Amino acid sequence: YYKQTRGGAIGLAFTQVLANIYMYEWEQDFIKHQEKHKGIYGRYIDVIFMNTNKTTNEIKEELQLAAEKDINIKIHYEIHTTVNFLETTLTNDHDQLKTSLFHKPTAEP
């Protein structure tokens, strides 16, 4: 017998719906900021991509504030001119966004 006291069971449709509703509310500050500054924001389940012209320190401060909104949401971030998001490599090449296909090394051909 197992009694779950926190969170939801992974894989249940209802858990996914609740998580999306919660994340929608949680991410509104990011979305508003990106809309105001003509930035890009995207989320697929638990992976987020956004671009910005802020300094690295400003980004880290903003992410720290976001992490403090809810201690149950763990934030891991990468700040680079090139990042992999889902199956896409995105590169900021002198303020021009370039994309290419990305294949995870563990993915089957």
- Can you tell me the distance from the alpha carbon of 100 to that of 36, in angstroms, rounded to the nearest whole number? 27
pLDDT of residue 107: 66
Query: Do both 87 and 62 map to the same domain?
Result: no
For residue 109, pLDDT beyond 70: no
Q: What is the pTM of this model?
A: 0.71
> pLDDT per residue over 23-77, tens digit each?
899 899 889 988 998 888 999 888 889 888 888 899 899 888 888 888 888 888 8
Query: Do both 88 and 73 map to the same domain?
Result: no
The structural domain count of the chain equals 2
Query: Do both 22 and 50 map to the same domain?
Result: yes
Task: Assign 9 a pLDDT band (cuts: 50, 70, 90).
Answer: confident
Quote the DSSP letter at residue 100: E
Query: Do both 89 and 36 map to the same domain?
Result: no
Query: Do both 7 and 52 map to the same domain?
Result: yes
Q: Which residues contact 6 (CB under 8 A, 6 or more apart)?
A: 72
Structural domain span for residue 38: 1-77
Query: Do both 42 and 68 map to the same domain?
Result: yes
Q: Which of 81, 12, 22 is nearest to 46 (CA)?
A: 22
